């Protein structure tokens, strides 16, 4: 960072601000609209991950935000580049992930003429970002980039879009860099903790639910220590399982799609719910049925860093504006007065969770996907990072895998397909010493499977498990339930994904039987290359959460 003003182009100023903010790497698809910024990156100590499509690049940046708590950075060109990147921006918004998308823009002299690839980015991104801004003058680059970092991280974290007109990037200005942005964090007031203590003292059947973003390892440990002191059962919300260690005796399981009915019953029977960090939106709440809207039956304590989120859906008995990490640290001041009335419920909830996740259902076909997830659960070290997109295939992972460390689950709560592979590439670049596994259905994989080429280019030795049942399985399942005998638009014809991996320069194997998976996985790791294991799942194996239901169509 420079403390003295010096003359620089807008492109150089931009990259210098990224350096001042500690940016390690960026994802991009190059474009002529921001060539001056690319040129400035040439000499910068920032790794540039060149991706094959803007959707994948944006998802990589979003994954970086999840992994670090600092904004992930993505560069794309104007028009179609920007609209392709919407996928990652929407994930960042719904998942409350800090992220900044820098987008090329037409020359300022051409605006409002619908010039080549011109878009009004405030209009395009307005409903899916915290802030969208266009920088018209190079002297404002430090100011507005610093603000972008602050907006992305403070309160409820989320995405920011910054548009970069071509002429601004080549114009010059004499200006100093902005200082490093450390986001302001909100802490619970002493009276908030006193009120929480009174509610706990009066409770007979409390339940803690952790979710959202803004956590760190210290905060997760603090929440676990609080749960131990008060002997509280703790559940995680949808795709936030790594916020509480699954092997902890107070862990009660995940409230997501198809949760254990006993965990749902515990929530229904609770008289006090402590919701920390999350919004408890549609997927986690069972389509807003597990907590009544707007006033829950249970006394609700809602802790969230965004003031606008508190009371937006649920009217809580106690609302606390605080980041989850800060709140967890503040809990050190609380201790139970004696043996709690609910003693033993955490242990019982954990036993139910263990039973629910232990033994996978037997599926039709030679490849038992649940057994494979159970094998991975026992084989992978606690710091292994698992990534996935959306589809029924993810249900087996969420049910039978046990996340034991903070930051080991990368998955979109927005339910976006195509997320697993780009997220895994970023995770492996960020943590090259750790095992990184991406799981994808056949439909999910081909939405961003081209980023396997990015993995090969940068030596990111991820293992991609493609679960191929020849269909968009989730939609097929709903289709057969709602419109029996009328299957349309959900069947797929797939390539040989193992051969594709080898064609890209990686390791590829085809797995048709359960017993073939473990040795294939070990060979994939030993290869030192990005790898794809193409696993053939019987199309009748619809869900982790229900028994096999036979097809009702002759085509099956």
Cα within 13 Å of Cα(462), Cβ side = 35
Judged against a pLDDT cut of 60, whether residue 554 lies above it is answered with no
> CA-to-CA distance for 305 and 94, rounded, in angstroms?
15
pLDDT band at 187 (very low <50, low <70, confident <90, very high): very high
Question: pLDDT for 393-428, tens place per residue?
Answer: 999 999 999 999 999 999 999 999 999 999 999 999
- Other Cβ atoms less than 10 A from the Cβ of 120: the count is 15
Judged against a pLDDT cut of 70, whether residue 271 lies above it is answered with yes
User: Judging by beta carbons within 10 Å of its beta carbon (0-12, 13-18, 19+), is residue 39 exposed, middle or buried?
Assistant: middle
Cα within 13 Å of Cα(404), Cβ side = 12
pLDDT average, residue stretch 103-126: 87
Instruction: Provide the β-strand partners of residue 134.
Output: 163
> CA-to-CA distance for 242 and 236, rounded, in angstroms?
8
Question: pLDDT for 517-528, tens place per residue?
Answer: 999 999 999 999
List, in sequence order, the alpha helices (H) in 189-260: 190-202, 217-230
pLDDT average, residue stretch 463-491: 87
Judged against a pLDDT cut of 60, whether residue 355 lies above it is answered with yes
pLDDT average, residue stretch 31-35: 95
> CA-to-CA distance for 478 and 190, rounded, in angstroms?
49
Q: To 5 degrees, how large is the angle CA 151–CA 430–CA 223?
A: 65
Judged against a pLDDT cut of 60, whether residue 320 lies above it is answered with yes
User: What is the residue whose two structure tokens read 């980015």?
Assistant: 121
**Could you write out the three-class secondary structure of 344-403?**
CHHHHHHHHHHHHHHCCCCCCCCCCHHHHHHHHHHHCCCCCEEEECCCCHHHHHHHHCCC
Indicate the DSSP class of residue 71. P
Judged against a pLDDT cut of 90, whether residue 30 lies above it is answered with yes
Judged against a pLDDT cut of 70, whether residue 430 lies above it is answered with yes
Q: Which pLDDT belongs to residue 3? A: 65
> CA-to-CA distance for 31 and 43, rounded, in angstroms?
18
Indicate the DSSP class of residue 544. T
pLDDT band at 552 (very low <50, low <70, confident <90, very high): very low
Indicate the DSSP class of residue 110. G
Instruction: Provide the β-strand partners of residue 462.
Output: none
Give the H/E segment covering residue 25. Answer: strand 25-28
Q: Which pLDDT belongs to residue 359? A: 92
Q: Which pLDDT belongs to residue 47? A: 98
Q: Which pLDDT belongs to residue 28? A: 98
Indicate the DSSP class of residue 332. G
In the sheet that holds 436-441, the strands lie side by side as 409-410, 385-388, 436-441, 463-468, 531-536, 507-511
Please give the residue that has the higher pLDDT: either 431 or 474: 431
Average pLDDT value over all residues in the chain:
94
In the chain, % of residues over pLDDT 70: 97
Judged against a pLDDT cut of 70, whether residue 371 lies above it is answered with yes
> CA-to-CA distance for 404 and 381, rounded, in angstroms?
9
> CA-to-CA distance for 247 and 83, rounded, in angstroms?
42
Question: pLDDT for 126-145, tens place per residue?
Answer: 999 999 999 999 999 999 99
pLDDT average, residue stretch 88-92: 98
pLDDT band at 556 (very low <50, low <70, confident <90, very high): very low
Indicate the DSSP class of residue 64. H
Judged against a pLDDT cut of 50, whether residue 83 lies above it is answered with yes
Q: Which sign, positive or negative, has the C-alpha torsion 255, 260, 264, 267?
A: negative
């Amino acid at each position: 960072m420079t403390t003295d003003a010096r003359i620089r182009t807008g492109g150089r100023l931009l990259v210098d601000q990224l350096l001042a903010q500690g940016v390690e790497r960026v994802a991009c698809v190059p474009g002529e609209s921001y060539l001056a910024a690319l040129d400035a990156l040439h000499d910068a100590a920032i790794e540039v991950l060149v991706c094959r499509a803007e959707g994948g690049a944006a998802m990589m940046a979003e994954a970086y935000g999840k992994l670090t708590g600092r904004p992930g950075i993505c560069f794309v060109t104007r028009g179609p580049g920007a609209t392709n990147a919407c996928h990652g921006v929407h994930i960042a918004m719904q998942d409350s992930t800090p992220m900044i998308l820098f987008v090329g823009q037409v020359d300022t002299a051409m605006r409002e003429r619908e010039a080549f690839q011109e878009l009004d980015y405030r209009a395009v991104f307005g409903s899916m970002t915290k802030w969208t801004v266009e920088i018209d003058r190079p002297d404002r680059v430090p100011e507005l980039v610093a603000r972008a970092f602050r907006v992305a991280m403070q309160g409820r974290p989320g995405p920011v879009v910054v548009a970069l007109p071509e002429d601004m990037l080549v114009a010059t200005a004499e200006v100093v860099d902005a200082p490093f942005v450390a986001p302001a964090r909100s802490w619970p007031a002493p009276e908030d903790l006193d009120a929480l203590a009174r509610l706990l003292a009066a409770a007979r059947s409390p339940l803690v639910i952790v979710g959202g973003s803004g956590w760190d390892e210290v905060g997760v440990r603090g929440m676990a220590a609080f749960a131990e002191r008060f002997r509280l059962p703790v559940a995680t919300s949808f795709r936030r399982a790594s916020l509480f260690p699954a092997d902890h005796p107070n862990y009660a399981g995940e409230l997501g799609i198809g949760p254990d009915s006993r965990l749902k019953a515990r929530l229904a029977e609770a008289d006090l719910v402590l919701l920390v960090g999350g919004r408890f939106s549609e997927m986690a709440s069972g389509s807003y049925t597990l907590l009544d809207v707007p006033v829950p039956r249970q006394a609700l304590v809602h802790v969230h860093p965004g003031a606008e989120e508190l009371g937006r859906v649920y009217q809580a008995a106690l609302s606390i504006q605080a980041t989850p990490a800060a709140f967890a640290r503040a809990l050190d001041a609380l201790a139970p007065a004696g043996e709690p009335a609910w003693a033993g419920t955490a242990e019982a909830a954990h036993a139910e969770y263990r039973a629910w996740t232990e033994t996978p259902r037997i599926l039709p076909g030679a490849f038992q996907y649940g057994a494979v997830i159970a094998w991975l659960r026992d084989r992978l070290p606690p710091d292994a990072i698992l990534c996935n997109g959306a589809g029924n295939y993810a249900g087996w992972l969420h049910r039978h895998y046990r996340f034991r460390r903070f930051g080991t689950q990368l998955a979109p709560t927005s339910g976006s397909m195509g997320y697993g592979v780009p997220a895994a590439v970023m995770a492996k670049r960020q943590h090259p010493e750790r095992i990184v596994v991406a799981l994808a259905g056949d439909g999910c994989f081909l939405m961003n499977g081209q980023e396997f080429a990015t993995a090969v280019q940068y030596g990111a030795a991820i293992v991609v498990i493609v679960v191929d049942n020849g269909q968009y399985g989730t939609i097929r399942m709903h289709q057969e339930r709602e419109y029996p005998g009328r299957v349309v638009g959900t069947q797929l014809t797939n390539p040989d994904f193992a051969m594709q991996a080898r064609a890209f320069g990686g390791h590829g194997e085809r797995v048709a039987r359960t017993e073939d998976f473990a040795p294939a996985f070990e060979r994939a790791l030993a290869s030192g290359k990005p790898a794809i294991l193409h696993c053939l799942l019987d199309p009748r194996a619809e869900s982790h959460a229900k028994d096999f239901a036979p097809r009702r169509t002759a085509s099956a």
